[in-house]
Amino acid sequence: MTASIRLLDVVALKADLPDNGLVRGQVGTVVELLALDAYEVEFSDDEGRAYALLPLRERDLMILHHQPYKAV
């Protein structure tokens, strides 16, 4: 069961990105589709302040689901 990442999906990192100050599990939002498997992801704190914005590949991300998964 895999789903393609879409604009505004909430995602989590699958691995640490120490050069960007990010660790596995940090949550971000897809804010731009850059290519077939590349996305601009914004990481924000609980107050909505962005602390990182970077391009990432689909292989680096996991989609988070807040409701039961339904195939489209």
**What are the domain boundaries of the chain?**
10-63
Q: For residue 69, what are the CA distances in angstroms to 3, 21, 49, 57, 61? A: 10, 31, 29, 22, 17
Give the pLDDT of residue 1. Answer: 42
pTM of the model: 0.86
Q: Is 30 exposed, middle or buried (0-12, 13-18, 19+ CB in 10 A)?
A: buried
Q: Which fold has domain 10-63?
A: SH3 type barrels. (2.30.30)
Span 16-34, pLDDT tens digits: 999 999 999 999 999 999 9
Give the pLDDT of residue 70. Answer: 74
| pLDDT of residue 64 exceeding 90 | yes
Nearest alpha-carbon partner for 11 in 19, 38, 1: 38
